[in-house]
Amino acid sequence: MSDVLRVALVDDQALMRAGFRALLDAEDGVEVVGEAADGEQGVALVREQVPDVALVDVQMPVMTGIEATRRIAADPALAAVRVVILTNYGLDEYVFEALRAGASGFLLKDTEPADLLQAIQVVARGEALLSPSVTRTLIGEFVARPPDRSTAAPGLDCLTRREREVTALAARGLSNEEIAAHMVISPLTAKTHISRAMTKLGARDRAQLVVFAYESGMVTARGGIR
């Protein structure tokens, strides 16, 4: 990744795109590489520009943000692109589906400017835009409903005992530091275990690792670990 963060804007509302562009253009080290007004245009824009981060509205004409995210995540040439879903509604069904599709996180459209800029930097580093508290809420919503059996959950048999343990703790919403304290290991070791688990499962980031943990049944409705 270069010193300049390259961002693509995908939203069907011209005023929303203009607002985000004005904010990002005023920031040193951030470049808006293009805009798109629907999901189909968004996928084309991302394939052409290969930005570091794509800000994608969840509900758009022609192609939804969820389908656009799925196509971006499935394209090996776009493996380094991180998708952040924009929503008006917070943790709704669209957000869950977007995370399953490969999004690295989500932002409310009324997010404070400083939080938006920080979020772009976080996902550009390859981290998931899901704080521990948001992860706990996410899992609470996930376990309150039957898993989506239309998509096969990856098997976790490939993980070592330690990798399964850190994955389960991450799915409960613990940060690397909290995982380290719980397991009496260093934060760097915890991060290494998480990274290896993501690699083995083909997870793009921590957000998708959490989804895998849910879909596999590792997280139970009482917040326990299987």
Nearest alpha carbon to residue 136 among 80, 178, 97: 178
Query: Distance (Å, rounded) from C-alpha 200 to C-alpha 216?
Result: 15
pTM for the complete prediction? Answer: 0.70
Query: Distance (Å, rounded) from C-alpha 123 to C-alpha 82?
Result: 6
Query: Distance (Å, rounded) from C-alpha 45 to C-alpha 112?
Result: 26
Query: Distance (Å, rounded) from C-alpha 105 to C-alpha 34?
Result: 21
Q: What is the CA radius of gyration of the chain?
A: 17
Query: Are residues 204 and 193 in contact, defined by beta-carbon separation less than 8 angstroms?
Result: no
Residues whose CB is less than 8 angstroms from the CB of residue 119 and which lie 6 or more positions away in sequence, other chains included? 84, 105, 107, 111, 129
Using DSSP's 3-state secondary structure scheme, residue 92 falls into coil
Query: Distance (Å, rounded) from C-alpha 85 to C-alpha 145?
Result: 22
**pLDDT averages per 10-residue partition of the chain, 226 residues:** 85 92 89 94 96 91 92 91 81 70 80 82 70 56 54 68 88 81 91 88 77 72 46
Cβ neighbours around 104 below 10 Å, total: 29
Q: Look up residue 8 and give its amino acid.
A: A
**pLDDT of res. 153:** 52
Going by their DSSP bridges, the two strands 5-10 and 82-87 should be labelled as: unpaired
Helices (H), 75-160: 93-101, 113-124, 132-143
